[in-house]
Structure 1
Amino acid sequence: MPPSLSSRLSALSLAAMPLLFVALWSTGFIGAKFGLPYAEPFTFLFIRFVCTLALLIPLAHWLSDGWPKGARLWAHIGISGLLVHAAYLGGVFYGIHLGMPAGLASLLVGLQPLLTAALAGPLLAERLTARQWAGLLLGLAGVSLVLGGKLDPGDGLFQGFGLGALASVTIALLGISGGTLYQKRYCTGMPLLSGTVVQYLAAGVVLGIGALLFEQRRVEWTLTFALTLGWLVLVLSIAAILLLMALIKRGEASRVASLFYLVPPVTALQAWWLFDERLPMASLAGMAIAIAGVVLVVKGKRV
């Protein structure tokens, strides 16, 4: 292959990798919608983490540049795993289990850059730019429009779901935002792949306890559930993580962060196509405004 053609193909593949990562990541919400009719949320996630660890531990041993050093770093990584995986995924799955549309759940947790930016000031002594403050206000206005479009006082507060679903997804948003800040502050020495194993271990234990205490742990092993579980394990928990590692190694992590605002509309489109989930025009306008707010926050970071 001529060197020029090879370099062009390499550049194209590198440019496509962030988009591929976002496309894969958005299917996690759809996977929850497909799988939850056959298993309760904590049980579903516990099985997912057990299957993931069975594959990821050998991969970490083979590909990783070592395991975390010292008990303190292990503890910090475990806490970040409880926030990033147990609280985040547990909240999202439980909210969808209680009736929240997958597209709306994706939008609410997609506000993570806004909340992280708001908390980074007091926790990490980072100052917000004027553009980021504008983005925060836009994001809040957009979410208000989205939730207002679903408001139906005559049908239990929110059409199709109640405060429990909203509280669950709010916990997910707080978990991913707090986990991001915690990991940034305390887990800087974390090897990415083996550290992810530690995070999954901690989250799996807590979700397993949750399944034991609060669920009946019944699973319908249908073909749909098995295929959904396989997709979430192989594509989300393994392939997406390895893709993220490749992006970080090539210095493309910032591009992934800037493209995360595409996850909510991609998820909403998938949910409309697969499940006929429809949002009112006010909610669609609110989604666009909220995404614009996230873009301002991400793009408004000081260099």
Structure 2
Amino acid sequence: MAAASSLKSLLAALAPAVFVVLWATGFIGAKLGLPYAEPGTFLTLRFLVVVLLMAPLLLVLPDQRLAGWRSAGHVAVVGALMHGVYLGGVFAAIGRGMPAGLASLIVALQPLLTAAVVGPLLGERVRPRQVLGLLLGLLGVGLVLSGKLAPGGEGHLFRGFGLDALAFIVAALLGITTATVYQKRFAQHAPLIGGAVVQYLAAALVVGLPALLFESNRVVWSGEFVFAIGWLVLVLSIGAVSLLMLLIRWGEAAKTASLFYLVPPVTAVIAFLLFDERLGPLALAGMAVTVLGVALVVIRPHRL
């Protein structure tokens, strides 16, 4: 019993760090695979593969099935927002030229939005040091974004992409924020496997219908694309998202959301190593401020 308890405590301690690294690779997978398929087509394939892999498990794991239509409805809303709107917005923004590191930075504003609504909706108290941490995180993200502004005369507000990409990434930010709060209030006790199947079916509808209407649905089956979709299915859609559901179940929504502040530095490092996306001194300073903000939100002070 003691060994099992110690193992659970160790897993709970490691889970946030593992989640951050896995989640950061999602932005890299998007950048790697998008040259070979349009965003909606790419995501629809990803979601359907996840469903095909996970749905058969429900035949042998009856305890993982959802309790009824009401529960399935709540889970479907989470899936539509968390996977359909959030991932759809991220992939569309990166597909329109936004760097992977910058996309991760903008959606890192999620904790500030989450903290603004958890009080009235979930009854969670946000402490003064958490507010300070959230504001520092916002400041850090702002410092990084300031270095991405295009010089005057280029015809674009940002280097390499336009306002359509910015609109998509803001939609992604709103989607993941709403999904986190909704999951905590209405669907936190849903079984992981049954919940995942319904979530990805709902997400496939959200991104699949626009893809059929507005995209060519052409896929170039290169080695890079197969690796990207395999990684995103197995590591992100199954591994990281299941871990996120557990983190939301184990902790307060504002603290879970604050983990997303750590994703941009990790994404930026990976993007630099793989795609030579470079960061200037101001961006590095902003990321340091962001990490400090996360520490204030997540780490509980020891009482003497």
TM over 0.5: yes
Structure 2 match to 1:101: 99
- Aligned counterparts of 1:7 and 1:134: Cα–Cα separation in 2: 34
Aligned residue for 2:237, secondary structure, equals: helix
Q: Which consecutive unaligned segments of at least 5 residues does structure 1 have? A: none
Tell me the amino acid that sits aligned with residue 288 of structure 1. Answer: A
Alpha-carbon distance, 1:284 to partner: 2.2
User: What does 1:252-271 align with in structure 2 at a 5 Å threshold?
Assistant: 260-271=260-271
Q: Is the CA contact (8 Å cut-off) linking 2:97 and 2:165 kept in structure 1?
A: yes
- Aligned counterparts of 1:51 and 1:35: Cα–Cα separation in 2: 15
Greater shift in the superposed pair: 112-121 or 7-16: 7-16
Q: Is the CA contact (8 Å cut-off) linking 1:141 and 1:290 kept in structure 2?
A: yes
Alpha-carbon distance, 1:14 to partner: 6.9
Tell me the amino acid that sits aligned with residue 203 of structure 2. Answer: A
Q: Is the CA contact (8 Å cut-off) linking 2:85 and 2:206 kept in structure 1?
A: no
**What is the count of residue pairs matched by the alignment?**
297
TM-score by length of 1: 0.86
Tell me the amino acid that sits aligned with residue 118 of structure 2. Answer: A
Greater shift in the superposed pair: 105-114 or 23-32: 105-114
Structure 2 match to 1:212: 212
Q: Is the CA contact (8 Å cut-off) linking 2:137 and 2:290 kept in structure 1?
A: yes
Q: Is the CA contact (8 Å cut-off) linking 2:114 and 2:257 kept in structure 1?
A: no
Greater shift in the superposed pair: 59-68 or 173-182: 59-68
Alpha-carbon distance, 1:162 to partner: 1.9
Aligned residue for 2:298, secondary structure, equals: helix
Alpha-carbon distance, 1:8 to partner: 9.3
User: What does 1:1-303 align with in structure 2 at a 5 Å threshold?
Assistant: 16-63=14-61, 65-152=63-150, 153-155=152-154, 156-241=156-241, 260-299=260-299
TM-score by length of 2: 0.86
Tell me the amino acid that sits aligned with residue 154 of structure 1. Answer: G
Q: Is the CA contact (8 Å cut-off) linking 2:64 and 2:192 kept in structure 1?
A: no
Alpha-carbon distance, 1:10 to partner: 9.0
Alpha-carbon distance, 1:197 to partner: 1.0
Listed one character per residue, the Cα deviations across residues 224-269 of structure 1 (whole Å, up to 9, x for unaligned) are: 11111111112222233455678799x6999976755432211110
Please tell me the root mean square deviation across aligned C-alpha atoms, in Å: 3.0
Of all paired residues, the percent bearing the same amino acid is 58
- Aligned counterparts of 2:198 and 2:176: Cα–Cα separation in 1: 17
Q: Cα distance 1:161–1:209, how it changes in 2: closer, same or farther (>3 A)?
A: same
Greater shift in the superposed pair: 140-149 or 287-296: 287-296
Q: Cα distance 1:81–1:117, how it changes in 2: closer, same or farther (>3 A)?
A: same
- Aligned counterparts of 1:286 and 1:190: Cα–Cα separation in 2: 37
Q: Cα distance 1:252–1:300, how it changes in 2: closer, same or farther (>3 A)?
A: closer
Q: Cα distance 1:171–1:269, how it changes in 2: closer, same or farther (>3 A)?
A: same
Listed one character per residue, the Cα deviations across residues 167-216 of structure 1 (whole Å, up to 9, x for unaligned) are: 21111111111011111112144112211111111011111101012211
Tell me the amino acid that sits aligned with residue 153 of structure 2. Answer: G
